[in-house]
Structure 1
């Protein structure tokens, strides 16, 4: 399997437009960037069957988490001889595997030089570096993230942060030296909130023969601006010719800030979170075409009784299956009767809408209109973030960043 990243366009303001191309058994998958990897739980996109997922045409890649499979070791899925693509019915997608759940990174007991602790439905388990590489050689994903000592402490010491960087680099070397040919490795950048250690992690990882980089935005501050400022220490020290994947930046304003700093790939856990809450996406980068923008809402809450007799689709003009076939009133009814179909229809819409949002971002970069549209986005939807003082400060700061 071959994997290459073609950087098509860059700008002095860090904007990037590219293509991540995977070729395996004469099958070519082209992932235009900036883009997203569909979040999965226990091997499937939450609430969707493979048929549902196939109806969302812009989904080209999925993010699978070993943490969801490792209740016992070795995981029973490693006994399947044909690899993770066929086991999970993801043969048409680029499959990326990481150890821990990027969307729900729970603090667990401390890691050691020999293993990483993970949180499973049957309690805490430990993953050894050699075991992890063995599983990846069996699964044969397109790409996997190297084992990493991710810090979940609220206030880690400098000694703890340095140890995290050292362990992660050692485990990266183990992966690169022992992975089978054709399986590609993304190096994970650590350093938590320490600028010097983040720079060291980025520079040392960039010296290795990695196919890309993973940055974790979780536990790095309460606002988008705080997280981006910390991640920027890593981003500024990476080569431009390899893709960057980031966790913890899921809301649309997070994505716009991340794209403006040169991030290529994001996860979709935010879409899952909003679906579970009964919300449907209505935001748009192209404000002129967004009929709901006058309400300054990124989402609508389908639990709201105002929708009990609303015969409009979730979003007027949306081409997803849910909007083409069902109404707000019907989905409101399904939620109140606790029907599983409510989550299926909401997730179908939200994931479809999310991928369209990324498509619009790519088009705006190509046309040179990204920053003007992003600034307009913050103006239109800014009032919806006034629930907390921190969120309001984040919007003001974000607009300044985008202007610069």
Structure 2
């Protein structure tokens, strides 16, 4: 890892592979394990950077594909780079656009060279290659950038996933060659679908390249939770212990606990803001619909133990009223709370690992059937 990036494991659970660490970047430290909010278009939806900082968030994500389409990486660079453009002073990670291309299955064509797709904005034909993805990310200027990968669908045959995984490795080699900014850490992505032999092969091949960090990708694309758990439990321990491990697109309580127990450090998911826009709060491991009648005249805080702005200043009845009225403030308050909830959840896990109480305090999630 370059001198401006480092990862230090400070403590490990005596009964699992869970660990508490410190990831250093040019824009500050990230205390792991840590949930990272998603700011697709250089904004975490309905939340200002000042409000976001108050949630305890340390590192956030933005999306290469979406920022390339709007406003364009040149505009972001002209605004001083992604940090200055969006007013966020902490670490930022940009994904490569590979997952978004995967989701455009009706509009794209994959070849060895890259992916050609039709822009959903104006119908323009766009070609995204490993080199182009890295060029865009270099221009955006995030602290951590992701290699361009192919995310295989679920279900898919072993043969098809093997070919896809091998292509992802060849694309990674091209990403490494194209990468021009040493102040940005390039992470590789372990693919392999639900096939554990392919996951193991990919992890071995990628770790030989000695990258600053590694991600587990291609999960939460339709496979059942038990398969996601199996993939993570198999793959995470194969990644270098002195590098950060990032599980892409996962952010439920149970999934994070299972992954942390396997040695994963970083997570991201759109759940907290997406659910907020549907009037949903995440409270103490549960999912609450604030439209429910029982909240209409409930004047207690959403969570009396939560330090967030929403819980400290407003009642369930008020937020329920805002949701029913479709007031924008409802989505802001619920987003602030939901992000705070998931960041606090991972922070509590970190504290439990440091005191070697991870299993005592969070072990029940490993055997729970609860999704959230």
TM-score, normalisation: structure 2: 0.89
Deviations 1:65-93 (A, max 9, x none): 11212337964535526222112222x11
The answer to which structure, 1 or 2, has the higher relative contact order (CA under 8 A, 6+ apart) is 2
**Alignment partner of 1:366 is 2:363:** no
The answer to whether the 8 Å contact 1:129/1:171 transfers is yes
334 and 78 in structure 1: CA distance in 2 versus 1, 3 angstrom threshold: closer
330 and 72 in structure 1: CA distance in 2 versus 1, 3 angstrom threshold: closer
**Alignment partner of 1:313 is 2:301:** yes
Superposed, 1:166-245 pairs within 5 Å as 166-179=166-179, 180-216=181-217, 217-219=219-221, 221-223=223-225, 225-245=226-246
**Alignment partner of 1:303 is 2:302:** no
- Once the two structures are TM-superposed, the CA of residue 134 in structure 1 deviates from its matched residue by 1.6
Give the corresponding residue for 2:54.
Answer: 55
C-alpha separation in 2, matches of 1:198 and 1:373: 30
- Once the two structures are TM-superposed, the CA of residue 260 in structure 1 deviates from its matched residue by 0.8
* 2:17 paired residue among 14, 18, 21: 14
SS in structure 2 at match of 1:31:
strand
SS in structure 2 at match of 1:69:
helix
The answer to whether the 8 Å contact 1:271/1:347 transfers is yes
C-alpha separation in 1, matches of 2:44 and 2:162: 35
C-alpha separation in 2, matches of 1:213 and 1:376: 28
103 and 50 in structure 1: CA distance in 2 versus 1, 3 angstrom threshold: farther
C-alpha separation in 2, matches of 1:210 and 1:378: 30
C-alpha separation in 2, matches of 1:229 and 1:299: 25
Deviations 1:4-37 (A, max 9, x none): 101112346211111001135xxxx111111011
Give the corresponding residue for 1:3.
Answer: 5
C-alpha separation in 2, matches of 1:366 and 1:45: 30
**Alignment partner of 1:43 is 2:46:** no
- Once the two structures are TM-superposed, the CA of residue 117 in structure 1 deviates from its matched residue by 5.4
Deviations 1:231-260 (A, max 9, x none): 333223211111111124321111111111
Give the corresponding residue for 2:329.
Answer: 341
The answer to whether the 8 Å contact 2:68/2:136 transfers is no
The answer to whether the 8 Å contact 2:98/2:148 transfers is no
SS in structure 2 at match of 1:48:
coil
- Once the two structures are TM-superposed, the CA of residue 352 in structure 1 deviates from its matched residue by 1.0
172 and 275 in structure 1: CA distance in 2 versus 1, 3 angstrom threshold: same
C-alpha separation in 1, matches of 2:163 and 2:39: 30
C-alpha separation in 2, matches of 1:4 and 1:299: 36
348 and 340 in structure 1: CA distance in 2 versus 1, 3 angstrom threshold: same
Deviations 1:270-312 (A, max 9, x none): 212321221212116xxxxxxxxxxxxx132110111111111
SS in structure 1 at match of 2:103:
coil
Give the corresponding residue for 1:249.
Answer: 250
C-alpha separation in 1, matches of 2:65 and 2:202: 24
- Once the two structures are TM-superposed, the CA of residue 171 in structure 1 deviates from its matched residue by 2.0
72 and 159 in structure 1: CA distance in 2 versus 1, 3 angstrom threshold: farther
- Once the two structures are TM-superposed, the CA of residue 159 in structure 1 deviates from its matched residue by 3.1
* Structure 2: segments with no counterpart, 5+ residues: none
C-alpha separation in 1, matches of 2:102 and 2:350: 29
351 and 372 in structure 1: CA distance in 2 versus 1, 3 angstrom threshold: same
178 and 106 in structure 1: CA distance in 2 versus 1, 3 angstrom threshold: closer
Give the corresponding residue for 2:90.
Answer: 93
TM-score, normalisation: structure 1: 0.83
* 1:69 paired residue among 54, 67, 70: 67
Give the corresponding residue for 2:148.
Answer: 147
